[in-house]
Structures are given as C-alpha cells and as structure tokens.
A and B are shown apart, each in its own frame.
Chain A
C-alpha cells in the first residue's frame, strides 16, 4: 500500500523559507508518476503549488514560481518543497500527492501538515 507522509516545521518566521519533505512508502518515486504539492489555507480552497516528475523535471504554479523549488532524493524515497520569502498568506495545510496524466493530477494524497507563518 502506497503512503505519503509530510514532515517539517509547523511554524515559520515571515521572510524565511518554508521547507517540507514528503516521505513515500510502498513505491519508488523514481519509477513513475508526478509527485506534487498542494496547499489549502484554513477554511479555504485548494491550490496547486508544483510537481516533480519521476525523471526529475519540475513544474510550478506561475503565481508561485519565483519562490518555489521542488526536489527529490531517490536514495531516501523523498521529495521536498522549499518556499522562500514567506508571509502570513502562506499559512496553510500543505499536502503532498502522487498523480498521473499531468503535473496537476493528484490521485493519492498525504494527510497534510499545517504550516503557520508568524513571528
């Protein structure tokens, strides 16, 4: 059974970098699929942040592209999100996902983690 689990700090200081890792169990991330990140501010809707293909190609939401980096570590079977220069508007639940067909597809989701941006 494939599972995704997000991890990282729950509190980030404004202007700093938000860093999250998604650990995948039950499937090798280098084999196939798009591995993505989505977010959802508390009580609000969903937004695609970006994705990395199993080959290493990356795709980013144009609205966040200047601040986002997604990478993968196949030796640990993990992929990561870095979002720099954060503000309170980046406070959200962050989800990692697995998808097929396109960078925005998300058939399997992690449970999500809340990241609060505050001093």
Chain B
C-alpha cells in the first residue's frame, strides 16, 4: 500500500504566521489524487483540497496546496485562530486509499 508520511508531527505557530505542512508518499500518487483534510476535536474531517491543489467549495484562499508524484505541501498563508487543528493528507488514487498520520497545528 501507499504509505503517506506527514511532517512535522506537531507545528507550533502564532496567529498571523505562515504554516507549511508536508506529505510524502512511498509511491507516486495515481492521477495526483491527493486530498488534505482539517479535523477539529469532536468533529468529522473537512475536505480542504482535492486533486493536490484545488480548494473545495467555501475554503478560504489562505489555504493553498501544491505537489505531484510523491511530495505534497499544504500552506496556510496567515493563520487564523480557527485554523488550529489536525491536518491529514490522503491519497485516493489507489486502494486502500491511505491517510497520513496527521500534523497537529497548535497555538504557540
């Protein structure tokens, strides 16, 4: 299976700062089917990005993403208080449609 490794495990930043999250796949992600999710405590994941770089409907433009093949990045340009959460990447190109272990974005 395609193993996704996210880094860092925890990212401590202040509101207004820029966040850069990484997701590396053990195999090339088919069709560039790479998604990013945000999950807050007690809530379901929320789709932010699909197709490696396309924002889902209603997602603020401070969220951007890039990458192809095995290396992907999610960037939050200026952190808002509501952005502090856990972020997961997922490849949905090849079964078993695996997730990274998550990056916790916490307030410094």
Q: Number of A interface residues at 8 Å Cβ cutoff, please give it.
A: 22
Of the candidates B43, B45, B92, B96, the one whose C-beta lies within 8 Å of that of A105 is B92
Contacting residues, chain A, for B46 (C-beta < 8 A): 109
8 closest A-B pairs by CB: A104-B97, A104-B92, A109-B44, A48-B97, A46-B99, A61-B96, A105-B92, A102-B92
**A interface residues, Cβ below 8 angstroms from B:** 45-48, 59, 61-63, 95, 99, 101-112
Q: Is chain A's binding surface mostly helix, strand, loop or mixed?
A: loop
Tell me the smallest distance from the CB of A3 to a CB of chain B, in Å.
Answer: 12
Given contacts A45-B88, A46-B90, A62-B95, contact A105 B101 (CB under 8 A): no
The answer to whether B88 touches A46 (Cβ under 8 A) is yes
Looking at the assembled complex, report how far the CB atom of A60 sits from the nearest CB atom of chain B, in whole angstroms: 9
Q: How many A-B residue pairs have CB under 8 A?
A: 66
Q: What is the interface size of chain B, counting residues whose CB is below 8 A from a CB of the partner?
A: 24
Interface residues of B (CB under 8 A from A): 31, 33, 35, 37, 43-47, 50, 56, 88, 90-93, 95-102
Question: Contacts A46-B88, A46-B90, A109-B44: A61 and B102 contacting too (C-beta < 8 A)?
Answer: no
- With a cutoff of 8 Å between Cβ atoms, the chain B residues found around residue A105 in the complex are 33, 35, 50, 92, 97
